[in-house]
Amino acid sequence: MAKMVCDSVRYHLTKTRSPSSQTAENPIADFIQNILFPKVSVSGDQGMPLAPVFTHMNGEHGDFYIPLSRPLDGLQMPRKGTVRVPGDAFQKAEEQLQSYLTGQVPVDTLLNVLEDLFSTLPAGCRDISLYDHLKLSAALDCCMTLWYENRGISPTYVPPKKDEPYFLLYSADLSGIQKFIYTVAESKALRSLRSRSFFLGLMMEHYVDELLRGCNLSRANLIYSGGGHCYLILPNTPVVENTVNAWNTRFNDFLLEQFGTGLFLGHGYTCCCANDLVNEPASEAPYKEMFRRVSGKIAAHKMHRYSPAQLLKLNHRSTQGDRECKVCGRADRLTGDMCDWCQCFVNLSRKIQDQDVFFVTTEKSPESPDFVLPSLDGQASFLFTTEDQAEKFLKKGISARKIYTKNCSYTSLPGSTRLYVGNYAASNSIEELARDASGICRIGVCRMDVDNLGQSFVRGFEQENTSSPEVQYRYVNLMRTAAFSRQMSLFFQLYINDILSGNFRDREPLSVAVVYSGGDDVFLVGAWDHVMEAANRIQSGILEFSCGSLTISGGIGLFDDHFPIRIAAEETAALEDRAKEEPGKNAISLFDPKQKHTYSWDIFRNKVLGQKQDTLDVFFDTFPERGNSLIYSLLDLLRGAPEKEGSVNLARYAYQLARLEPKRSDPRMDCYRTFADHMYAWAWNQEDREQLITAIYLYVYKNRKG
């Protein structure tokens, strides 16, 4: 399989770089290069830099380019301007690649190297990187090769056809994530939340890797994984179909046995041909249809989750016992006052912060494993460890089923798989985070997700205002979807760490902790004002990263540090929903979903913070002797107004403002006048009044002690 991927990479690299070059006859690779991706393989002006994959997403966003870099170098924003790729950039990258193309190098290492070398160099068409092109070509090569092998025929005699269903688009989706993560006891809640969320992510990677192993494929065939969701492209053979069905059943057996009905991995697949992958004929839009079929299969699987045999087993599960796990409440598998899984998550929480190597073995584990998951044919022990220790295991002759590294690469660990994990945390303790808040000692809980991501995924590359299907769907194909998904993973699983730590653009590190970040959504907690800043950075980050093609909405709630995190999560979800109800979304909702503190990001920045809060700051900085009691009276009057124009009790409002007036001789008189004028004007207008109320809340929180 390593050789298959190597051969494919070598072939497609040569063909993409110099299309006219002579290569040995290879009908499958030719088919993929020439018929499947003709627009990609045309080698145009080789000095043009890579354009962002967002160039044709939700409208046109031209003129940007991506600077040469590697993912682990940190977040690089798309830039404007005209630059040329240095003349020898391709050649240098190709030279560096050569020693990895021997067929002896594990595929995951080769994929890491390809990503480092080619993910910011363009393939023939500018908005797709050479890495995305080579990876997907290899995936399709492998599928077709296995399909031909399975049929026992040769592509030389039976040439590939565009309407032959060689492929299976496979997808799986984990249900029950939220409940699983947020079922935690109050004490040490944050630690447990983070390790539960991390566990689910790693478990999904393991599911994908075992599935690929069973199909004799590599991670080249993984299109996307994140947020409990994955897409793979597989060969359409009976062997593969049996393998994925058997593995999914085995995995759900495990979930049922270990976690009851709380977690379930729905899956589904559909066969597809080359035409489907490039959306031909466009008038029938088969690409969209293919994704619709898979989603339908998953939904159907979720409707009929368990087989009679599984249901029987479920009924026999012991629910007897007078004691319960103090975290999740189950009555079986107890050791002490916790069940063994909840104990495991507590133990992991210490390790995930410092250890970045996860050693997986199906042999006898060299140490007691952190947890055990099923493998295709047995069990896989997971050990959270360090580079040194993992090297020692290998030297002792313990063979690794898989070695995962978190946000780093270790050349000392051959074949290791690089995972990107958004898990920045200034502290693992909610109390510690709350202490860093300015003013009121509260934690902020923030949930955000990209607006209409599903829509963008399926329809984002469609062009509007055209009656020609060829024009409408000209950018719609699996290559772009794969490249787009990869960028989303990079942003929410890797770059988010740079954004929050301040490594990106040299900013202050924020006192927040990511509970969960993957797919397209984020859940974080921290000092309340740091959480506001985090949301602000993430919003402007994704906007810039996507060249303005994606927006994000979110909710932020404030809670004291003993408030049950599960309820805080629910309340913040309601705030997030409130923000999504705004016309056009792209909004933030604060404090309490029953009150109106919901604004588009622009209004929030410019009017609530920029205009109103600044005015309050200036006034109270100039008149430090004015206590908060006055501002509370103003707030009461403003809040008492029913929602119609100018219905604030103006006489009393004016009286309160007048009480703030300094003596006529006071040099600060001008400052007072400006303030009072603004405050009058804002009280009259409903929108201004609402913004003012939010600004007063923020002012009070910021300036309250303790």
160-168, 261-269, 322-330, 429-437 -> range binding Zn ion (CB under 5 A): 322-330
Q: Which of 185, 244, 328, 346 binds Zn ion (CB under 5 A)?
A: 328
User: What's the min distance (Å) between Cβ of 500 and Zn ion?
Assistant: 30
CA distance 411 to 15: 29
CA distance 678 to 264: 56
CA distance 418 to 390: 15
250 closest CA partner among 146, 258, 167:
258
346 interacts with Zn ion by CB under 5 A: no
Q: What Cα–Cα distance (Å) separates residue 224 from each residue in 208, 227, 503?
A: 10, 10, 26
479 closest CA partner among 122, 215, 47:
122
Q: What Cα–Cα distance (Å) separates residue 537 from each residue in 499, 505, 510, 531, 578?
A: 7, 11, 10, 10, 21
CA distance 191 to 118: 37
Looking at the Cβ atoms of 340 and 432, the one nearer to Zn ion is 340
Q: Which of 169, 285, 327, 679 binds Zn ion (CB under 5 A)?
A: 327
Looking at the Cβ atoms of 139 and 328, the one nearer to Zn ion is 328
Size of the site for Zn ion (CB under 5 A): 5
189 interacts with Zn ion by CB under 5 A: no
CA distance 382 to 377: 16
Looking at the Cβ atoms of 324 and 432, the one nearer to Zn ion is 324
User: What's the min distance (Å) between Cβ of 288 and Zn ion?
Assistant: 42
192-200, 340-348, 511-519, 558-566 -> range binding Zn ion (CB under 5 A): 340-348
Q: Which of residues 288-317 bind Zn ion (CB under 5 A)?
A: none
User: What's the min distance (Å) between Cβ of 328 and Zn ion?
Assistant: 3
Show the site string, 518-557: x = touches Zn ion by CB under 5 A, - = not.
Answer: ----------------------------------------
Q: Which of 215, 342, 513, 558 binds Zn ion (CB under 5 A)?
A: 342
Looking at the Cβ atoms of 327 and 390, the one nearer to Zn ion is 327
Looking at the Cβ atoms of 296 and 329, the one nearer to Zn ion is 329
325 interacts with Zn ion by CB under 5 A: yes
CA distance 539 to 691: 20
Hey, how many other C-beta atoms are within 10 angstroms of the C-beta on 394? 17
Looking at the Cβ atoms of 97 and 342, the one nearer to Zn ion is 342
3-state helix, strand, coil in the chain (%, to 5): 50, 15, 35
Beta bridge partners of 225: 230
User: What's the min distance (Å) between Cβ of 181 and Zn ion?
Assistant: 13
User: What's the min distance (Å) between Cβ of 213 and Zn ion?
Assistant: 31
185 interacts with Zn ion by CB under 5 A: no
User: What's the min distance (Å) between Cβ of 216 and Zn ion?
Assistant: 38
339 interacts with Zn ion by CB under 5 A: yes
**Are the C-beta atoms of 107 and 218 separated by less than 8 Å?**
yes
325-333, 401-409, 438-446, 682-690 -> range binding Zn ion (CB under 5 A): 325-333
Hey, how many other C-beta atoms are within 10 angstroms of the C-beta on 301? 18
321-329, 388-396, 445-453, 587-595 -> range binding Zn ion (CB under 5 A): 321-329
Looking at the Cβ atoms of 328 and 522, the one nearer to Zn ion is 328
CA distance 613 to 636: 17
Looking at the Cβ atoms of 339 and 679, the one nearer to Zn ion is 339
497 closest CA partner among 514, 520, 518, 515:
514
167-175/222-226 β-pairing: unpaired
Q: Which of residues 78-97 bind Zn ion (CB under 5 A)?
A: none
Looking at the Cβ atoms of 325 and 590, the one nearer to Zn ion is 325
312-320, 332-340, 388-396, 533-541 -> range binding Zn ion (CB under 5 A): 332-340
Cis, peptide link before residue 281, omega less than 30° from 0: yes
**Are the C-beta atoms of 255 and 176 separated by less than 8 Å?**
no
Which residue reads 């509370």 in tokens? Answer: 632
User: What's the min distance (Å) between Cβ of 584 and Zn ion?
Assistant: 43
Looking at the Cβ atoms of 9 and 328, the one nearer to Zn ion is 328
Give the angle subtended at the CA of 664 by the CAs of 658 and 667, to the nearest 5°.
Answer: 110
- Residues of this chain that interact with Zn ion (CB under 5 A) are 325, 327-328, 339, 342
